[in-house]
Amino acid sequence: MELRRGDYFTWQVTLEGRAGALSAMKNLLLHCRELVTDDIINHLLTPLVCAVALLTRLPSLLRSYGGSVLSWSLVYRLRVYELLALLPPHTYQDSFGLVMNQLVSDLSGQDNLNQPCSELTLLPPLCHQDDLQLVGPALHATDHRYIEEQLHGSSVGGASLDNDVFSLCETSDEAPAPLPPPVALTAAAVRLFGTLYPYVISAQR
């Protein structure tokens, strides 16, 4: 229905709302694990199947509305990947094909509308703390680290609350400073790919 009647603002609000709902589901799995029974997981799978199905519609949305919905489409995909990584893979085995196609597209940059994973992209969430010390002053724990990150001009820098407002829901002792959506999405895609790969049938591998 949205494809027939929606404009860019409708889709922007829709993606933002769904990303928020996925964020709430993610926090349930992270912080209330004792409440997550098989019955609860089954209830979560119904909206999750719809969320995965929407991934296939995003390229046409980006072609229609371009940059107006790009940032929210990145955050939406990020939330889907984070949520899938927290669930047992066998529970959403029917969606493996769609998810793996999207992951490969995100990581290889096959679709020009996606932010490609450049060989020069550094993914701080996936780096060991000792290795981060070797990449230069931009990532050292100094008083001027924030300024160095902004000057670096690559995907390493630019950590800001503006990148992902849902990070306010995270529990942490430090002020939230999420990475730019393309970097966070690539890191989440790498994690989910590694989680799903052992479960994928040989033909799909």
So where are the chain's domains?
A: 2-118+182-199, 124-181
Give the N- to C-terminal CA distance of the chain in Å, as an integer. Answer: 35
Do residues 197 and 205 touch, judged by C-beta distance below 8 A?
yes
Residue 83 predicted with pLDDT over 90:
yes
Residue with tokens 């519609």: 57
Neighbours of 39 (CB within 10 A): 8
pLDDT classification of 125: cutoffs 50, 70, 90:
low
**For the residues 146-165, what does the mean pLDDT come to?**
58
Which of 45-54, 55-64, 80-89, 148-157 has the weakest average pLDDT? 148-157
Q: Are 84 and 102 in contact (CB under 8 A)?
A: no
Between the CA of residue 84 and those of 16, 24, 81, what are the distances in Å? 18, 13, 5
H/E stretch holding 128: none
From 56-70, 82-96, 148-162, the region with the lowest mean pLDDT = 148-162
**The pLDDT value given to residue 17:** 92
Mean pLDDT of the chain: 78
CA dist 93 → 19, 55, 80 (Å): 22, 16, 15
Instruction: Give me the percent of the chain exceeding a pLDDT of 70.
Output: 67
Q: 6 with 57: CB under 8 angstroms?
A: no
Q: CB atoms < 10 A from the CB of 1, how many?
A: 5
Handedness of CA 61, 65, 70, 73 (dihedral sign): negative
Alpha helix segments (H runs only) across 66-196: 67-86, 96-108, 129-132, 145-152, 181-196
pTM: 0.77
Taking CA atoms, 126 is separated from 122, 154, 195, 198, in Å, by 9, 16, 14, 19
